[in-house]
Amino acid sequence: MIQLPTWTPIYRELIRKRADELNSDGCTMVPDFYVDACYEHDIHFRTHQTLFGVPILFEEANHWFGERIKTMSPFGRFSPMAWWRERAVSKFGRKAWDAEGVGTPFCQVYQSSWVKT
């Protein structure tokens, strides 16, 4: 399992800057309670790399998404939100992960796969 940097204020600021460059939408279709975790997850999904360019797998990206939420949650390792969000992106996020092109917003992929217009 890949190891990500410690969740420090400096690292989180770097995450926010890179997410802004990628036009991240933050936490798609859910409240932005843990927006920095969502930004990091978007970076992983859009680039298939960590912030520093290390390749990351779909399963690792989703694992770390849950871990980051646990770090910020008052419930820590017992955070129900971390549990359901990690499982939701693991179950429904494959289409977004496989989308061609860096920077494809998750919400567009989600809408095209679930919302019929």
Residue ranges per structural domain of the chain: 9-114
pLDDT band at 23 (very low <50, low <70, confident <90, very high): very high
**Is the model's pLDDT at 112 over the cut of 80?**
no
Phi-psi region of 101 (alpha: psi -120 to 50; beta: other; left: phi over 0): left
Helix, strand, coil % (nearest 5) of the chain? Answer: 60, 0, 40
**pLDDT recorded at residue 63:** 97
**Is the model's pLDDT at 109 over the cut of 90?**
no
105/39: higher pLDDT: 39
For residues 75 and 93, give the distance between their C-alpha atoms in angstroms, rounded to a whole number. Answer: 25
Average pLDDT over residues 63-72: 96
pLDDT, mean over the chain: 87
Cβ atoms of residues 36 and 13 within 8 Å? no
pLDDT band at 9 (very low <50, low <70, confident <90, very high): very high
Average pLDDT over residues 50-66: 96
pLDDT band at 30 (very low <50, low <70, confident <90, very high): confident
